[in-house]
Amino acid sequence: MQTKIKHDFLQSEKGQLADKILRSCVHCGFCTATCPTYQILGDELDGPRGRIYLIKQMLEGHTVTKETLNHLDRCLTCRACETTCPSGVEYGHLLEIGRSEVEKRVKRSLLQKVLRKTLLLILPFPKRFAVLLQTGQLFRPVLPGILKKQIPAKTRLTKLSLKNHKTKMLILDGCAQPALAPEINHATRKVLDALDIELVSFSGCCGAINQHLSDEEKALVIIKNNIDRLIAEFDNDIEGIVMTASGCGAMFKEYPHLLRNDEHYKNKAEIIANKTFDLTEIINTEKLKNKLNVNKNLNIAVHTPCTLQHAQKLPLNIENILSSCGYQLSTIKDKHLCCGSAGTYSITQPELSAQLREQRLSGLMVGQPDMIATANIGCLHHMNAGSTVPVRHWVEIVAENLKP
């Protein structure tokens, strides 16, 4: 596509990158077909091709208003468009530039500012989030139904007796997950123990929340801190870091891109990304199969999170593990679609997010499953609030079927 990016911006590294990405787009429109928001709203401006155009206009110096901001805000960053795009347009990276540029040009409403600031003050901090959630859980019995669905009941975990293994890996605790669903990492420890892998806890947030809310500066602080701590850990015989939330995994794998201009951190980021594994990547299915008493009556629908299928490009990993282990998989429709959770999207765009959830769940329910399996805490929590069947992390299902 032809571009006429403003001269000064074109001089910057970001300008160069944006121009390169824009020019790789040939405006074919294939992306609109798999864009969840375009499929609901039917407006070019709410699809990837339109958003690319809005960003192009902005960088070319056209007037920008809240319109552009709104349409960019409505993007889920699910990156289904990237999977569909034959020309190889790096939409996610372009959107990142577009979002940070539009923040500079358009003022948000006070309400939006407060909301976004509040999210930034709570979510990335596990302790703050935990306190808030515990307060909610305390009052859960007296809360109205709608809020009750948002707040999971408190879980009690059995104490594990795990062995020591030669193979050691880190496991990211994450920010919201330890409080919302501690059972996920608990199950992971059990399953990996059976596969002779020992896990060492690594606390902290991946930085995605700040990144998605356009708080890049703070995001970089978090990321660099993670990198420094990880590099130190990797010296001690640690094979890598395991992610039980595909959103965090996708973010870790983005570190080299985010630090591409930082001479000091560039290479380190590369090392971290190469040692970051989604849980599905390290499962030895042959070995696992023999350790399970699979419940074959269970009909499971798999929702592969966007961060796993589109960002990490691992679209079939969950299905492959479950079906190789002998689980019965339910047919689903529109595998590529986002559930509407998308980080903080369910909070910043509640209406669309609910519509997307409904659409996604109806696609997952076509084969009348007993359960939905996924791989990301965001999707899990968001879909649970609207689903008639339980939504669980796939590793929990597997952990329950481990032979004693």
Contact residues toward other proteins (CB under 8 A) are 1-3, 23-34, 38-39, 42-45, 49-50, 53-54, 57, 62-65, 67-68, 84-89
Shortest Cβ 90–other proteins spacing (Å): 12
Strand residues in 149-260 grouped as ranges (E): 167-172, 197-202, 238-243
CA 404 to chain centre: 33
Strand order in the sheet with 299-302: 328-329, 299-302, 371-374, 391-393
CA 199 to chain centre: 22
Shortest Cβ 379–other proteins spacing (Å): 23
- Closer residue to other proteins in complex, CB, 60/196: 60
- Closer residue to other proteins in complex, CB, 8/263: 8
Collapsing DSSP to helix, strand or coil, 270 comes out as helix
- Closer residue to other proteins in complex, CB, 67/228: 67
Shortest Cβ 187–other proteins spacing (Å): 32
Cα-Cα-Cα-Cα dihedral of 69, 70, 74, 80, to 10°? -50
Radius of gyration of the chain (CA): 21
Shortest Cβ 210–other proteins spacing (Å): 28
- Closer residue to other proteins in complex, CB, 243/352: 352
Shortest Cβ 85–other proteins spacing (Å): 7
The sign of the dihedral angle between the CA atoms of 186, 188, 191, 192 is: negative
- Closer residue to other proteins in complex, CB, 5/308: 5
- Closer residue to other proteins in complex, CB, 3/167: 3
Distance CA 289, CA 269 (A): 35
- Closer residue to other proteins in complex, CB, 43/358: 43
Yes or no: say if 355 and 40 are a contact pair by the CB < 8 Å rule: yes
Distance CA 375, CA 81 (A): 20
- Closer residue to other proteins in complex, CB, 53/277: 53
Distance CA 342, CA 51 (A): 18
Shortest Cβ 368–other proteins spacing (Å): 14
Neighbouring CB atoms inside 10 A of 296's CB total: 9
Which residues, in sequence order, are CB contacts of 241 under 8 Å at separation 6+?
Answer: 169, 170, 171, 172, 202, 230, 252, 272, 275, 276, 277
Rounded to the nearest 5 degrees, what angle is found at the Cα of 56, between the Cα atoms of 52 and 62? 135
The sign of the dihedral angle between the CA atoms of 307, 308, 309, 314 is: positive
- Closer residue to other proteins in complex, CB, 44/239: 44
Shortest Cβ 375–other proteins spacing (Å): 23
- Closer residue to other proteins in complex, CB, 54/75: 54
| DSSP, res 167 | E
Shortest Cβ 31–other proteins spacing (Å): 8
Shortest Cβ 387–other proteins spacing (Å): 23
Shortest Cβ 49–other proteins spacing (Å): 8
- Closer residue to other proteins in complex, CB, 63/236: 63
Q: Which of 208, 64, 239 is nearest to 123 (CA)?
A: 208
Q: Which of 86, 77, 81, 53 is nearest to 67 (CA)?
A: 53
Shortest Cβ 43–other proteins spacing (Å): 6
Distance CA 22, CA 98 (A): 11
